[in-house]
Structure 1
Amino acid sequence: MSKISVIIPVYNVEKYLDKCISSVLKQNMTDFEIIICDDASTDGSLKIVENYKKKDSRIKSITHKENQGLSVSRNDGMEIASGEYIFFLDSDDYIKQNVLTTLYQKIKNVDADVLYFGYEEHGVGNQDNIKRYRHKSIYPNVENGPDFFCGAVSEGNMCVTSWSAIYKNQFLKENNIKFKPHIIHEDNLFYYEVLMKANSVTSVDDFCYEYIRRNNSLSLSQRIYHEKIGSLCFIIAEIINFNKNNKHECKYYTNEYVSNLNRQLITYYKELNYFSWNKLPFTEDEELILRLATGAFYNGFFTYKLPDNVISEIKKYKDIIIYGAGKVGVGLKELLSEYDIHIRAFVQTNLKDTEKKNVSGIPLKSIDEIMNDDGGVLLIASKNYSVQMIEIAKQMKFKNIIDVSKYI
């Protein structure tokens, strides 16, 4: 058994991999193993790994025939790890000199399940603008995991990244702690599960890890936003279910933790054009979480917004009228304003003289007051009466009608 197993997941990182592996091999500790899992790279990463294996017998490798994601790569590495402790290292980052010896001695001295440490973040090739993140140092004191979690949340000092800690291998195996496959933000769930199950946790403020922040255009794609939203809904649901059995104090701080995740969820939701249910089928719990998180938007009716093709169809018309001046109609107006789509009027079936003549600053009229032509479109905005409203619109010879009630 070696002292530490360093697990490095690899996917198309040939530019950075040499520096990553070298930073481990240059450590003054010699009793370690490096487990590299290549996740079906299409660049020269695998060749670099094979060259290093020839030079150093401490390097083991796993090769995936198909890309399976970061979580699976880490789990596969953990499965064959023989080290007393586990250290995760992302393949485009590196570690400072002699940190393995320092961390091993400290976690061994206090016999902790987990030891957290600080890290430095900087951009590619930018050593001048370094941000430093650290845990409040409690070493050589040790706390149980839930107490450490509560303290971290209360101080706003949560370093959830899995690579900002060293873990006792036996602790992870006995508690069957693994990364959830095929999700984004997997570290958020791993961090929570580790601390809820750990009997002994300590931390130091040493800066041991160099995190390189890289711009990734994929993070702006609609597909990635879908995956991030789906992942966060899953993670929140998992944490809520786990939290049912927590002590009162930990319940409170878990709720705070979930609130932070919820804010991330809302940020991604704002960037999303339309959430396709078919792309990410939810459980009932996950759907409820998305509805609760987005309930303050668009009067709580357009949880999934409107599909791109519907927005494109509405934009074809110069004269846009919303049939339905209630909460659904107001929510629709709010949603369309984000696309710079302006509403000429709200209409309803029977407008009494005593009723107000505008809604949210938009004129409100009776539907029989509206003259319609090929350049106008009537948007049906009702949760319960859309069928009747469509029939009325057809009787009144409206040529262009779009029913948005199916997206509520």
Structure 2
Amino acid sequence: MPKISIILPTYNVEPYIERALQSCINQTFKDIEIIVVDDCGNDKSIDIAKEYAKKDERIKIIYNEKNLGTFASRNIGVLNSNSSYIMFLDPDDYLELNACEVCLANIKGNNLLQFGCKKNENNETSFLHPKIKDYEEFEKSINRFYYISWNLCFLIVKKDFFIERIQKINRRFVYAEDMLVYISLINEKMIFIKDCLYNYIIRKSSICKENDQKYGIYLENLNFILEMIEKMNLKKNILRYYSYFIKMNIYQFLYKSHKISYLKYKILKKKEKIKRKYYILSSKFKKRVYNE
């Protein structure tokens, strides 16, 4: 049985999938399986994957009956995996060749490990790595409203833990699904390493054309996610942190879709920022009182 399954939800990524597959096949840690989930695109992405599968028995292709989107395709990949740990790779990106080796050496008895990435945009590379090391520091960062990436591709997760936390979420997403899944995975046995093991490529063509219809779908997704996390048994500080980002996005799309005026948009944003500042100051005060 392989130790790590790398899940690639695949839809119209013909120019890039070969590079992604190569980054999996050539991992320094070899005891892996590579699961390509065909989400019914109309290019030759899967034909390329099939050719690679003929040469490497670690590659398995799962075929969706219809287009289901990234969230469902990832979950289908997980359910068809045979490993103790799972990682996600978007096929227009690629992994560092030591990614699996480093992750497996560091995750140990934890449920989740988060690593950094190399972000490439307009041929310029920036390094984004976690500035924290464990759950305790995660909570401190949350209290200060520091940004912590919720991209699922920057994680290795225990398979059983992932299924336990995600199995009740049954919805098609086109926006912000990574945030909902990440929030669902937050637990005291999560750790962070600074190694940048993922190459995240920002392409102009990967940015969806924005219009009122898209904004409407984004708003539906964001409101659903806000409703979901309010029902979770989250600590108040964690709920406040993610609610802040969700609400700021909701206000932005309400304004862009002409559902609220610019003045109301600015007022709503200002209210959220005031509340955020209050929570930060309150957290600092409680810490000082506790230390005294």
Aligned to 1:384: none
- For residue 112 of structure 1, the aligned residue among 98, 110, 113 is 110
User: Quick one: which of 154, 157, 164 aligns to 1:164?
Assistant: 154
SS in 1 for 2:264: coil
Find the residue that maps to 1:266 and give its secondary structure: helix
1:173 aligns with one of 163, 167, 170: 163
Contact 1:75 1:178 in 2 (8 A): no
Matched, 1:87 2:117: no
Question: Who is 1:190 aligned against?
Answer: 181
Offset from partner CA, 1:124-174 (integer Å, 9 cap, x none): 6x1xx2222221242xxx54xxx5652342351311001111001122234
Structure 2, unpaired ranges of 5+: 269-292
Contact 1:115 1:201 in 2 (8 A): yes
**Which sits farther off after the overlay, 199-208 or 13-22?**
199-208
1:254 Cα deviation from its structure 2 partner: 1.6
The 3-state SS of whatever aligns with 1:157 is coil
Report the residue type matching 1:194 in the other structure.
Answer: L
What amino acid is aligned across from residue 212 of structure 2 in structure 1? Q
Structure 2: distance between partners of 1:121 and 1:219: 22
1:296 alignment partner in structure 2: 264
Say whether 1:234 aligns with 2:247. no
Amino acid in structure 1 at the alignment position of 2:220: G
Q: Give the C-alpha shift of residue 299 in structure 1.
A: 10
CA distance in 2, matches of 1:217, 1:203: 29
SS in 2 for 1:209: strand
On the 8 A contact 1:219/1:225 being kept in 2, the answer is: no
Q: Is the Cα contact below 8 Å between 1:69 and 1:181 reproduced in 2?
A: no
Cα 1:298–1:3 change in 2 (3 A) is closer
Q: C-alpha deviations, 1:97-143, integer Å up to 9, x for none?
A: 211101111112xx10000111111126x1xx2222221242xxx54
Secondary structure of the residue that 2:106 maps to in structure 1?
helix
1:178–1:159 distance in 2 versus 1, CA, 3 Å: farther
What are the Cα deviations for residues 53-98 of structure 1, in whole angstroms up to 9, with x where unaligned?
A: 1111001111123211111100100101111110011111001121
- Note closer, same or farther for the CA distance 1:175–1:271 as it changes in structure 2 (3 Å cut): closer
CA separation in 1, counterparts of 2:65 and 2:59?
20
Offset of 1:177 from its aligned partner?
A: 4.7
C-alpha displacement of 1:21: 0.7
Residue in structure 2 matched with residue 204 of structure 1 by the alignment: 193
Aligned 8 A contact 1:172 1:178 in 2:
no
Q: Partner of 1:136: helix, strand, or coil? A: coil
Question: Is residue 117–residue 207 contact of structure 1 (8 Å, CA) maintained in 2?
Answer: yes
**Contact persistence 2:251–2:265 (CA under 8 A):** no
Scaled by the length of structure 2, what TM-score is found? 0.83
Give the equivalent residue in structure 2 for 1:257.
242
CA deviations on 1:288-324 (whole Å, 9 max, x unpaired) are xxx9xx9935999xxxxxxxxxxxxxxxxxxxxxxxx
Cα pair 2:87 2:157 within 8 Å, conserved: yes
Structure with greater helix share of residues: 2
Compare 171-180 and 58-67 and name the one that shifted more: 171-180
- Aligned-residue offset at 1:220: 1.2
> What SS does the corresponding residue of 2:208 show, helix, strand or coil?
helix
- Residue 214 of structure 1 deviates from its aligned partner by 1.5
For 1:225 and 1:18, the matched residues in 2 are separated by 33
Residue identity matched to 2:9: P
Separation of aligned partners in 2, 1:298 and 1:117: 35
Query: Compared with structure 1, are the counterparts of its residues 295 and 72 closer, same or farther at alpha carbon in structure 2 (3 Å cutoff)?
Result: farther
Query: Offset of 1:273 from its aligned partner?
Result: 4.1
Match of 1:58 in 2: 58
3-state DSSP of counterpart to 1:296: helix
- Matched with 2:78 is 78
The answer to whether structure 1 residue 130 and structure 2 residue 121 are counterparts is no
SS at match of 2:62: strand
Size of the alignment, in residue pairs?
265
Corresponding residue of 1:42? 42
1:270/1:59 CA distance change after superposition, 3 Å: same
Relative CO higher for 1 or 2, CA cutoff 8 Å, sep ≥ 6? 2
Which letter does structure 1 place at the counterpart of 2:249?
Q
Partner of 1:272: 257
Q: Distance in 2 between matches of 1:121 and 1:179?
A: 29
- Between the aligned partners of 1:211 and 1:178, the Cα distance in structure 2 is 29
Per the TM alignment, residue 178 of structure 1 is displaced from its structure 2 partner at its CA by 6.8
Shift of 1:187: 0.6
- Pairing 1:334-349 to 2, within 5 Å after superposition: none
Q: Which amino acid aligns with 2:193?
A: V
CA drift of 1:252 comes to: 2.6
C-alpha deviations, 1:347-392, integer Å up to 9, x for none?
xxxxxxxxxxxxxxxxxxxxxxxxxxxxxxxxxxxxxxxxxxxxxx
Give the Å deviation of 1:221.
2.5
Residue 288 of structure 1 corresponds to none
Q: Which runs of 5+ in 1 are unaligned?
A: 275-290, 301-408
Aligned partner of 2:213 among 204, 223, 230 = 223
Classify 1:82/1:266 alpha carbon distance in 2 versus 1 (closer, same or farther; 3 Å): same
Residue 272 of structure 1, CA deviation:
1.2
What amino acid is the match of 1:123?
E
In terms of Rg, which structure is larger? 1
Q: Is the 8 A contact 1:177 1:190 kept in 2?
A: no
User: What residue identity is the alignment partner of 1:256?
Assistant: Y
